[in-house]
Chain A
Amino acid sequence: MDRVASYKEDLRLVRKWPEKLLAGILFLALCLLPQFGSDYAIYIVTLISTYAIGVLGQNLLIGFSGQVSFGQAGFLGIGAFTLAHLTRAGVVFPLALLAAGAMAALFGLLVGFPALRLKGPYLAVATLGFGIAVYQVLANWDTLSGGRMGLAIPPLAWNGLSKRLLMYYLNVGLAVLFTLATYNLVSSYVGRAFIAIRDSDIAAEVMGINLTRYKLLAFAVSSFYTGVQGGLLAQLLGHLEPQMFTLAETITLIVGVVVGGLARVEGSLFGAAFVILVPQVFASSRELVPVVYGAAILLVIIFEPHGFAGRWMKFRLYFSHWPFR
């Protein structure tokens, strides 16, 4: 890691000129993609941005606070269906998206309450139960989920921008916003409290961290992220069915977090890219996607516990004093 002299310096995201250059290139590429990229590339980047938000949320929970959740698909579904019903009722999109996040966060608080007493596998089963309950309610309550036909979401229109470009700017913009917010969150008191709880909740409590407040906050924030992801995903796909929110979706998010790097913010972006690109690469043999996911998890945990982010950090460290070392 880089040496930092003060908290102010710690908050700076890009510190050296190669990083500035890289960030600049990335920013330029994202701006230029709509002009020069193919429709397919634009769609993939949009999807990666959407998933980045969800993986960031899951990373805040698993990676930073150490709480396991197998119910993320439930929050995703709640966010998606909240947005769908609100936009169908004529609520403007930004408000509906906020409501999608807020609704998911509310349910996150609800799920967080068992988390106060449960740990590890016991928490996993409680959250798993929540995920299954949401799926079953959606699958069996036709007025909520639109029944077998599914629920169509009115397309977004703004300033004559084409739907594809609008979704691109919206998703990428929000992903950047959430990434910056996450960087700030994890270097604030709240983020440090999350990390302390992960490392030892008893010790954290002794140091004066209010366990109830911060565990609930971790669940609420994480499910807010996932709810927003659900809303964006719903708007992007334009069509919702309960079958989209099963355990497989939860596992995808977990794979993204682990492969990208537990407790690494930039790792979540790599992880989101991984879980979107692998199914695209293996489009002709879909059965192999879980095999690749599983093998990636095993390899990452054995050889590179910090995932792609850890590899990236080593790469940067190697070149930080290049060619002198």
Chain B
Amino acid sequence: MEWLLQYLLAGLSAGSTYALVALGLVLVYQSSRVLNFAHGDVAAFATFIAYTALSARLPFGVAFGLAVMFSAALATTFYLGILIPAQRRDATHLGQVIMTLGLGLILQGGAAFFWGTEPQPFRSPLSDTRIVKIGPVAMTELGLGTLGTALCCSLLLYGFVQRTRVGRAMRATSENLIAAQTLGIPTRQLVALSWAVGAALGAVAGAFLAPALFLDPYFMIDPFLKGFAAAILGGLNSLPGAIVGGLILGIAESLSGAYIAIQFKNTLAFVIIILVLLVRPEGLLGHEFKERV
């Protein structure tokens, strides 16, 4: 029983990082219908910025803030400077998705060029070896911190999207772009904002994953794929779905790793997702936009 609780908690902690990544993806997909394949690479690049700042003996808070701001600025620049011109030139939807893949490749290669491909340790005030006891189960400081941060971020995002005027305008934009424009909502700025917020969430996930995974240009690929899978599992245009999907994926992985086979941890996660998609093609909480001929 204690072991089960332990695995569940470990799964929740891993799942919360997937949820963070998934939230960023869903935010971008909701607003612009583009699946952002560069999400993980933007986060990895931002984490490298934080790493450089830390090497320059800046405090962790400043480095973290720099990384978050950098990724937000990068995503906004990409949207306004590259994606919008492509849309003006009638790029297809698939073309836009492939462009994000291109951005991801550029950032991945750029990170490898500037910082090398050797895995580097990433210092963090939270240690991943010191252990905190909560009742019968134990958890690393880092795991607990990740869980807490993910919870805070999701609550803040919920408040922002549901309660503020800007958030409401964002939801209107994602619901019906043309109607929102008619009502005088500056949709382009809002979509750019959601790219920024999405990328910032990715950078947060990167800063909390780097201490445990070591830092190299490819360290976000695996979390990105998991976050993507989590977003799909929950439904790509449902923010609560992203959190639910992330947590379910984390727990499923942890339990299947513990009780079935550790080597096939990743595969089992994807098998679960494919099975869910076969029953519910739009994810658990999703409702896909209707299509007309």
Contacts and interface: CB of A to CB of B under 8 A. Distances in A.
B106 to A, nearest CB: 4
Given A122-B277, A140-B263, A140-B264, A288 B109 contact: yes
B270 A66 contact: no
A203 B293 contact: yes
B273 interface: yes
Interface string B81-95: 010011001111111
B267 interface: yes
A247 B218 CA distance: 12
A114 B276 CA distance: 11
Given A122-B236, A136-B267, A251-B105, A129 B91 contact: no
B105 A121 contact: no
A132 B101 CA distance: 18
Question: Counting chain A CB atoms within 10 Å of each CB, which of B91, B94, B105, B229 scores highest?
Answer: B105
A137 interface: yes
Contacts, number: 142
B101 A297 contact: yes
Nearest to B232: A125
A302 interface: yes
Nearest to B112: A287
Contact of A302 (B91, B113, B117, B267): B91
A18 interface: no
Interface in B25-39: 29, 35
Interface residues on B, range: 35 or more
Interface residues of A, number: 49
A117 interface: yes
A35 interface: no
30 contacts: A117-B278, A118-B281, A121-B35, A125-B270, A126-B273, A128-B229, A129-B270, A129-B271, A129-B274, A130-B270, A133-B271, A139-B263, A140-B264, A200-B293, A254-B101, A285-B113, A290-B106, A294-B101, A294-B106, A294-B107, A295-B102, A297-B98, A297-B102, A298-B82, A298-B106, A301-B86, A302-B89, A302-B99, A305-B89, A305-B91
Given A128-B270, A136-B267, 9 more contacts: A117-B281, A120-B35, A125-B228, A126-B274, A247-B221, A255-B105, A285-B113, A294-B106, A297-B105
Interface of A: 62, 66, 68, 114, 117-122, 124-126, 128-130, 132-133, 136-137, 139-140, 200, 202-203, 206, 247, 251, 254-255, 258, 262, 285, 287-298, 301-303, 305
